[in-house]
Structure 1
Amino acid sequence: MTDFSMLGLKPRILTTLEELGINAPTPIQARAIPEVMNGHDVMGLAQTGTGKTLAFGLPLLHQAIAAGEKPQPRKVRALVLAPTRELVNQIADNLYPFTKGTHLKVTKVVGGASINAQVKRLERGADILVATPGRLIDLIERRAVSLDETTFLVLDEADQMLDMGFIHALRQLVPMLADERQTMLFSATMNKQMSEIAGAYLTNPVRIEVSPPGKAADKVTQEVHFVPQAGKTDKLVEHIAGHRQEMSLVFCRTKHGADRLTKNLVAAGIDAAAIHGNKSQGQRERALKAFRDGKINVLVATDVAARGIDIPGVQFVYNYELPNVPENYVHRIGRTARAGREGQAVALCAASEYGELKAIEKVMGIKITVASGRPPEGAEIADAPRKGGGRRRFNGAKSGGHGKPNGQRKPQGQSQGKPGGGKQRRPRRAKTAA
Structure 2
Amino acid sequence: MSFESLGLIEPLLRAVQETGYTSPTPIQAQAIPAVLTGGDLLAGAQTGTGKTAGFTLPLLHKMAAKPQQAGQKRVIRALILTPTRELAAQVEENVRIYGKYLPIKSMVMFGGVGMNPQVDALRRGVDILVATPGRLLDHHQQGNLDLSHVEYFVLDEADRMLDMGFIHDIRRVLAILPQKKQSLLFSATFSDEIKALAERLLNSPKVIEVARRNATADTIAQKVHPVDRDRKKELLAHLIKENNWHQVLVFTRMKHGANRLAEFLEKQDITAMAIHGNKSQGARTRALSEFKSGQLQVLVATDIAARGIDIDQLPHVVNYELPNVAEDYVHRIGRTGRAGAEGEALSLVCIDEEGFLADIEKLIKRPIPRETVPGFEPDPHARPEPIQLGRRVLHGAPGSRGGQRAPSTQGAANDRRPADRNAAGRRPGAGAPNGARHADGRRQDKGGNTSSGPRAGGKPRHPASGNR
For the superposition of Structure 1 and Structure 2, which TM-score range results when normalised by the shorter chain? 0.7 to 0.9
1:194 aligns with: 194
2:26 is aligned with 1:27: yes
Deviations 1:16-69 (A, max 9, x none): 122222211111111111111111100000101101001110111112211222
* Residue in structure 1 matched with residue 148 of structure 2 by the alignment: 148
67-76 or 354-363, larger mean C-alpha shift? 67-76
Equivalent residues of 1:113, 1:282 under 8 A apart: no
Structure 2: gaps spanning 5 or more residues? 384-394, 417-468
Amino acid across the alignment from 2:35:
V
**Aligned CA distance change for structure 1 residues 98 and 321 (closer, same or farther; 3 Å):** same
Q: Post-superposition shift, 1:404?
A: 4.6
Q: What residue identity is the alignment partner of 1:38?
A: T
**Could you tell me which amino acid in structure 1 is paired with residue 87 of structure 2?**
L
Which residue pairs with 1:304 in the alignment? 304
Q: Is the 8 A contact 1:376 1:394 kept in 2?
A: no
Aligned to 1:56: 55
Deviation at 1:109, TM superposition (A): 1.1
Q: Helix, strand or coil for the counterpart of 1:114?
A: coil
Secondary structure, in 3 states, of the residue corresponding to 2:77?
A: strand
Show the counterpart of 2:3: 4
1:322 maps to which residue? Answer: 322
The alignment of Structure 1 onto Structure 2 pairs a total of residues equal to 397
Query: How much does 1:125 deviate?
Result: 2.2
Q: How does 1:274-423 map to 2 (within 5 A)?
A: 274-372=274-372, 373=377, 398-400=399-401, 404=403, 412=411
Give the match for residue 425 of structure 1: none
Q: Distance in 2 between matches of 1:256 and 1:394?
A: 20
Q: Would the aligned equivalents of 2:15 and 2:99 in 1 still touch at CA under 8 Å? A: no
Percent of aligned positions with the same letter in both sequences? 46
AA in 2 matched with 1:42? L
CA apart distance, 1:300 = 0.7
Aligned counterparts of 1:89 and 1:376: Cα–Cα separation in 2:
47
**Residue pair 1:154, 1:184 contacting (<8 A) in 2 also:** yes
| Contact 1:73 1:122 (8 Å CA) reproduced | no
Alpha-carbon distance in structure 2 between the residues aligned to 1:106 and 1:408 = 36
Quick one: which amino acid aligns to residue 63 of structure 1?
Answer: K
Distance 1:206 1:374, change over 3 A: farther
Q: Match for 1:109: what amino acid?
A: M
Give distance in 2, aligned partners of 1:36 and 1:101: 21
- Contact 2:49/2:339, CA 8 A, preserved across alignment: no
In structure 1, what is the equivalent of residue 42 of structure 2? 43
Read off the aligned partner of 1:358 and give its amino acid letter. Answer: A
Return closer, same or farther for 1:216/1:348 CA change in 2, 3 Å cut-off. same
SS in 2 for 1:331: helix
8 A contact 2:313–2:343 mirrored in 1:
no
Q: Residue 5 of structure 1: CA displacement? A: 1.9
| Mean Cα deviation higher: 116-125 or 32-41 | 116-125
Contact 2:228 2:379 in 1 (8 A): no
Question: For residues 70 and 248 of structure 1, what CA distance do their matches in structure 2 show?
Answer: 50
**TM-score (normalised: structure 1):** 0.86
Q: CA deviation at 1:70?
A: 6.9
Deviation, 1:168, is: 1.1
Query: 2-side partners of 1:145 and 1:243: how far apart?
Result: 52
Aligned residue for 1:250?
250
Q: Deviations over 1:276-328 (max 9, x none)?
A: 11223332212111111122111111111343211014211010110111111
Residue in 2 that maps onto 1:428: none
Answer yes or no: is the 8 Å Cα contact 1:87–1:307 preserved in 2. yes
Aligned residue type for 2:191: N
Match of 1:423 in 2: none
- Structure 2 partner of 1:103: 103
In structure 2, the CA distance between the partners of 1:201 and 1:376, relative to structure 1 (3 Å rule), is farther
Amino acid at match of 2:400: S
- Which residue identity does 1:360 align to in structure 2? I
Q: Secondary structure at the match of 1:97?
A: helix
Q: In structure 2, how many angstroms separate the alpha carbons of the residues matched to 1:331 and 1:70?
A: 43
Q: Which amino acid aligns with 2:203?
A: T
What is the alpha-carbon distance in structure 1 between the residues aligned to residue 313 and residue 269 of structure 2? 22
- Cα distance, 1:224–1:245 mapped onto 2, change above 3 Å: closer
The letter for the 2-side match of 1:35 is: A
String of CA shifts for 1:340-367, please: whole Å, max 9, x gaps.
2211111011111100001111111111
Distance 1:245 1:76 in 2: 45
Q: Which residue of 2 aligns with 1:176?
A: 176
**Are residue 112 (structure 1) and residue 97 (structure 2) matched?**
no
Q: Is the 8 A contact 1:74 1:145 kept in 2?
A: no
SS of the residue 2:371 aligns to: strand
Give CA-to-partner distance per residue, 1:359-383, whole Å, 9 cap, x none: 111111111111114697799xxxx
Alpha-carbon distance, 1:180 to partner: 0.7
Distance 2:203 2:179 in 1: 12
Q: Secondary structure at the match of 1:339?
A: helix
Q: Deviation string for 1:67-92 (max 9, x for gaps)?
A: 22279657311111111111112212
TM-score (norm 2): 0.80
Amino acid at match of 2:206: V
Equivalent AA in structure 1 for residue 326 of structure 2: P
Tell me, yes or no, if structure 1 residue 84 matches structure 2 residue 84. yes
- Assess if the C-alpha contact under 8 Å between 2:12 and 2:101 holds in 1: no
CA distance in 1, matches of 2:53, 2:284: 24
**Other structure's SS at 1:23 match:** coil
CA–CA distance in 1 between the matches of 2:286 and 2:92? 17
For 2:22 and 2:212, the matched residues in 1 are separated by 25
Q: What amino acid maps onto 2:45 in structure 1?
A: A
Structure 2 partner of 1:384 = none
**Contact residue 45 and residue 190 of structure 1 kept, 8 A:** yes
- AA aligned opposite 1:399: S
Contact kept in structure 1, 2:45 and 2:187, CA below 8 Å? yes
Structural mapping, 1:199-214, within 5 Å: 199-214=199-214
Indicate the residue corresponding to 2:14 in structure 1: 15
Describe the shift of the 1:398–1:225 C-alpha distance in structure 2 as closer, same or farther (beyond 3 A): closer
Q: Separation in 1 of the partners of 2:141 and 2:281?
A: 21
Is the contact made by 2:224 and 2:371 (CA closer than 8 Å) also made in structure 1?
yes
